[in-house]
Amino acid sequence: MTVRTLAHTSRSNSRKPRKGLLAYLDLYAQRRALAKLDQAQLRDIGVSRAEAEAEVARPPWDAPRHWHK
């Protein structure tokens, strides 16, 4: 599974969180990819099926708090 972050590099080479529609679309795509993982793949990343389903059910604007820095 490809891991994406909501940060990008600006001209000053500092990391800033993405905002707006692109961030929502990226998070939506990540959660859809998580939903497609089978039990062995989830076990490899240390996530239970219940945890994955709970994450997938979250709306795109409900991002983890550490992404809002």
Query: Helix and strand tally (H, E) in the chain?
Result: 3, 2
pLDDT at residue 15 in the model: 53
- Please report the pLDDT score of residue 14 as a whole number: 47
Sorted by sequence, the CB contacts under 8 Å of residue 4 that are 6+ apart come out as 26, 29, 30
Q: Tokens for 49, please give them.
A: 């099926």
DSSP 8-class letter at 67: G
Residue type, 59: P
Structure-block tokens of residue 47: 């996530």
Give the residue ranges of the chain where pLDDT is below 50: 5-14
Helix (H) or strand (E) holding 65: none
